[in-house]
Structure formats: structure tokens, C-alpha cells
């Protein structure tokens, strides 16, 4: 069932769990996510980035996700990392039930003013708004922040920002990073900062750049790489550990974004299929295993986030 972000995250906030927000660009990803949500009886957020909109087109993505939303679990149709105000406005007018305005790389006054403008647009259409304060490092689609430009969210500023903008959810920076190369080793997140923000800010909190970059799946992307010549794929990739995610959820994170983990599962399965079946040329035979593996990844995330059984 199609839902707005606010009631889904408000329920997660009261129940102390997080809802997974999974980026989709195509049919296989969408099917993997919605089938997992139905099997796990979990609410889910299907989201499209500006990069996905450029790739597939907003109307195609909308048709696909609204079809998925006919499932008997809560489904939020969300715009992820909307930086271009024109794209954000178009999403609000086109049927998205939730949008994120990402002004985190702008001066704080400009981020505040733009976020308030987006909230005003969204209220007229009954659409929820996620905002962001603090810049998360890394590269993913149209999001690119160098480590030197990243900064963690100040708790007092988060309180003032949430009150002033009246946003429905707030994405914060506590040390995660976009993309597959988040850390040089073990996960290091500022949990004390998260505790302080949660104590002050009453809206649900969001964690971006939180893919786990599973080592076993990364290895699967390198099957027979010495023959194929792609052994450097995802070299030195590190993500956020499951232990760190569990702690973040326990301390008050209510929405967690996942993109890179799905990309890695897709790549691993497609490579394995083509390596193992030298005669395959039917896209359904090639992409079917990718959908299956992504579905397993999504199911694991729903268990990890605590949303399984909460539909």
C-alpha cells in the first residue's frame, strides 16, 4: 500500500527500529526489494536518486514503483538526494509520497531557506520531506563530497534546523560515507553525537552511506578475475558493519539508505551467470539470478534494521 514517509517513520521511531530505503533504477531491483518486503512483512521505502531519474525517466520509475506499491505492505515512494529544486518540485507534483531535499553542501542559511521552500511545496500536496544537515563524504550518483569538505552534524544546530524547517525526517552525518569505499578498516561512527542529537531532535533520524559492503559478495565480483582481468574491482572496499548498524538503530536511527550493497550483489550474480553459462544470451536468464541475490541482501537488511514483521 502506498504510504507517506512520515507515518511510516513515526511508527518506526515509536517502535525503535529502522526502515530500509533501497535505491532502484530498474525492474530487477524493484522486484527484489518488494518481494523481500512482502516475504519479511516489512514496511519499505523505494527511492530514486536524481541519477536514476536521468537514467530511466521519472514517469517510468513512477509506473514501476506504483505497481510495486500495490503489495500488502507499506511502501513509500521517495526521491533520494534531491539537490536540484526543479527536480524536487517535479517529484512532488508527479506523485512521489516523499522527497529528500539535500542542501547539505550549501551554506547553512541557504540550506535552511531552500528546505523551508520545499516543505511549503510538499505540504500543499500532502508529501513528506526529509532534510539533511551535515555533509557526508563519498561519491554516489550525483552526490560527491570530498573527505576534507565533510562535516558531522552539530546537535544544537540539528535541533534549530528541524524546528525551523518543520521537516518530517532529518538525515545526519555521524561518520558514514557514500559509495563502497567508506573506511580504510573498521567502522568508526560517532555514537555519542547520535545520542545527543536523538535527545534533542524529535523527528525521525536518517542514516545515509550505510551499506555494509559484504566481503563475501565483494569476493564474488572477482570470480575468475585473473582470466577476466578485473581483479581490481572494489579493491579496498569497506562498509558499515552490522554491529554498528544495530547500535545506530538502538540509539535512534529510523531510516537507513542502501544502494551500494544492491549494486555489488547485482554485479556478482551477473558475472557468475555469464561465467558459468557460456551460451546465455537471454536477459531474463542473466538478470534473474541478480534479482534473487539482491532479494537475499534486502531480506538480511530488514532483519538487521528490525523492520521485519512490522508491516
Neighbour count for residue 156 (Cβ, 10 Å): 11
User: 117: which residues sit within 8 A by CB, 6+ positions away?
Assistant: 85
Residue 84 annotated in active site: no
What is the distance between the alpha carbons of residues 185 and 178, in angstroms, rounded to a whole number? 15
The whole-angstrom distance between residue 188's C-alpha and the CA centroid of its chain comes to 19
Neighbour count for residue 128 (Cβ, 10 Å): 25
CB-count exposure of residue 282 (10 Å: 0-12, 13-18, 19+)? exposed
CA atoms within 13 A on the CB side of 72: 3
User: 165: which residues sit within 8 A by CB, 6+ positions away?
Assistant: 112, 115, 116, 119, 129, 131
Closest CA to 154 of 133, 131, 171: 133
Neighbour count for residue 218 (Cβ, 10 Å): 20
Phi and psi of 68, rounded to 5°? Answer: -60, -35
Q: Which of 10, 80, 242, 259 is catalytic?
A: 80
What residues are annotated to the active site? 80
Amino acid at each position: 500500500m502506498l504510504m507517506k514517509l512520515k507515518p511510516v517513520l513515526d511508527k518506526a521511531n515509536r517502535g525503535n527500529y529502522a526502515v530500509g530505503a533501497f535505491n532502484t533504477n530498474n525492474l530487477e531491483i524493484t522486484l527484489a526489494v518488494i518481494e523481500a518486503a512482502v516475504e519479511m512483512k516489512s514496511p519499505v521505502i523505494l527511492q530514486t536518486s536524481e541519477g536514476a531519474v536521468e537514467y530511466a525517466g521519472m514517469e517510468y520509475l513512477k509506473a514501476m514503483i506504483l505497481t510495486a506499491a500495490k503489495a500488502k505492505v507499506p511502501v513509500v515512494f521517495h526521491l533520494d538526494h534531491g539537490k536540484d529544486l526543479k527536480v524536487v518540485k517535479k517529484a512532488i507534483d508527479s506523485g512521489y509520497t516523499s522527497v529528500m531535499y539535500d542542501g547539505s553542501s550549501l551554506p547553512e542559511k541557504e540550506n535552511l531557506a531552500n528546505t523551508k521552500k520545499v516543505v511549503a511545496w510538499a505540504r500543499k500536496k500532502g508529501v513528506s520531506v526529509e532534510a539533511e544537515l551535515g555533509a557526508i563524504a563519498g561519491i554516489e550518483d550525483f552526490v560527491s563530497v570530498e573527505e576534507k569538505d565533510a562535516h558531522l552534524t552539530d546537535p544544537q544546530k540539528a535541533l534549530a534546523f528541524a524546528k525551523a524547517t518543520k521537516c518530517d525526517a532529518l538525515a545526519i552525518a555521524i561518520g558514514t560515507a557514500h559509495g563502497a569505499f567508506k573506511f580504510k578498516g573498521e567502522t568508526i561512527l560517532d555514537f555519542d553525537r547520535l545520542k545527543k542529537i536523538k535527545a534533542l531532535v524529535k523527528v525521525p533520524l536518517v542514516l545515509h552511506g550505510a551499506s555494509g559492503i559484504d566481503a563475501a559478495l565483494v569476493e564474488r565480483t572477482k570470480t575468475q578475475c585473473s582470466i577476466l582481468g578485473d581483479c581490481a574491482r572494489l579493491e579496498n572496499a569497506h562498509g558499515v558493519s552490522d554491529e554498528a548498524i544495530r547500535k545506530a538503530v538502538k540509539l535512534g536511527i529510523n531510516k537507513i539508505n542502501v544502494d551500494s550493497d544492491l549494486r555489488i550483489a547485482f554485479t556478482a550474480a551477473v558475472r557468475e551467470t555469464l561465467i558459468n553459462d557460456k551460451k546465455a544470451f537471454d536477459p531474463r536468464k542473466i538478470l534473474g539470478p541478480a534479482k534473487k541475490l539482491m532479494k537475499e541482501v534486502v531480506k538480511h537488511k530488514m532483519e538487521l534494521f528490525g523492520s521485519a514483521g512490522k508491516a
